[in-house]
Amino acid sequence: MHRSTWRRFFRRTALAAAVGAFIAGLTVVTPLAPSAAAAGTLQQVTSFGSNPGNLAMYEYAPSNLPAGAPLVVALHGCTQSASDYHANSGWQKFADQWGFAVVYPQTSSANNSLSCFSWFDSTKDTRGRGEAASVMQMVDTAVAQYGSDRGRIFVTGLSAGGGMTADLLADYPDVFAGGSVDSGIPAQCATTQSAASGCQYSNQNLTPKAWGDKVRNSDPGYSGPWPRVAIWQGSSDTTVTPVNGTELRDQWTDVWGIGQTASSTQNLTGGTTESIYNDSAGKPAVALFSVSGMAHGLAVNPGSGADQCGTTGTYYLNYICSSYHTAKFWGLDGSGGQGGTGSLPSPSGLTVTGTTDTSASLSWSSVSGAASYNVYRNGTKTGSATGTTYTDTGLTVGTSYSYTVAAVDSSGAVGTSSASVTATTTGSAPKCYTDNNYNQVVAGRAHQSGGYTYANGSNQNMGLYNVAITHTLKETSTGYFVIADSGC
């Protein structure tokens, strides 16, 4: 929108001053050259679909990322960029440590004069439309590229990015296993620009059911499972006032069909109070992190400690590493989202002792006080052992898997997970490549004739020879490719 329109929207002097806080973190960055993703660097992906929301896609993946790893989508605040958010938020540290890829959607002043995601515009933030649809195209592209686990896709965002995160969780509960709304707004609180300031600054006086209905109405007919949602809110935030944290809590506990009384509460570092709301199985479904004294921004905590991350700056505030606690809440540390509530330390010395075409064997050092050990494959519990060895079976040939182990005490409390190791089964698995028809030909996986593109080997017709049509090709043998758009 035009700057003059934005000013009319925030007429009062107090509101205009608060906009400076809402536009989290102006940072001037040099645009990255368009290229294919390279492991260990932030890269732009220039072709990911029709892109109806006019967004840019950036992505990061650590080296040797195994197939079946999780995927996190991270949305910046107004006037921020993908590069800025990647550099300051701390997500890179945990992507490297726990093994997952991160996609950073980026909007621009062409969409909004302050480069805000349009969480308040129903033509852009609803299922299948505008920016929301563009983000989903990025997810599909990344999943095809990395072989990501469709059951472990997560989304997080700050401020306007947090508002869009809540909308995406409501729009696509079938896609996202969890989300984190940082200093953001409840899903579908505003459907027009004129209603946005009321959501930011005022109690909407809605019941939990009314809030929950906004989620249920975003994807009619869907009945679960629902995303597990973390909510981060500063108690001194005057830009997105603390009532938004309460309203988000009401919204998502109602969606889950659970009450608004916390199942457990504990104090964390940085003046942070964590309130957990368990589902009917006793597993955390909603978490509200209230940071005492924190103004508008993302909570970070620079340092080399296991629970520290990020870099301070404008709207990156030194209280607690929110990315660490969010990742643990989702189970990205290998705890399976159980939170690692036990007191036992992480097992050391986790090692891959052998692999076959369909199995991987592990060993680790014993932990004093452990009654058993949980073994997690790609973040999901795959089995348990009373000793310090385990063999995982039924695996796919020529595939890499990430493993962690956690000690369990006699009461069943799960301790901190170990560092991860990667095991690769023997044999060779087909490789898959997703790209537009032009690039498939340039890469030598297809050829063109008479204006059409054909897969090398199988000679399957892929459609017109251009950059607008994208396919996934599977190489089933050397130089022989087949169309595998439905999955590889």
User: Which alpha helices (DSSP H) does 371-452 contain, by range?
Assistant: 437-442
Catalytic residue among 81, 89, 118, 159: 159
Task: Say if CB 254 and CB 214 are below 8 A apart.
Answer: no
The encoded tokens of residue 318 equal: 């030194």
**What's 301's DSSP letter?**
B
CA–CA distance, 415 with 131 (Å, rounded to integer):
40
Strand order through the sheet with 452-455: 446-449, 452-455, 461-464
Integer Cα distance of 440 and 394 in angstroms: 33
Q: Would strands 316-318 and 298-300 be described as parallel, antiparallel, or unpaired? A: parallel
Classify residue 60 by burial, with Cβ atoms within 10 Å: 0-12, 13-18, 19+.
Answer: buried
Alpha helices in 60-159 (DSSP H): 82-89, 91-98, 130-146
Residues 6+ apart with CB under 8 A from 210: none
159 is catalytic: yes
User: What are the Cα distances from residue 318, in Å, to 224, 273, 296, 312?
Assistant: 36, 16, 12, 6
**Cα separation of 257 and 212, whole Å?**
9
Which residues are tagged catalytic?
Answer: 159
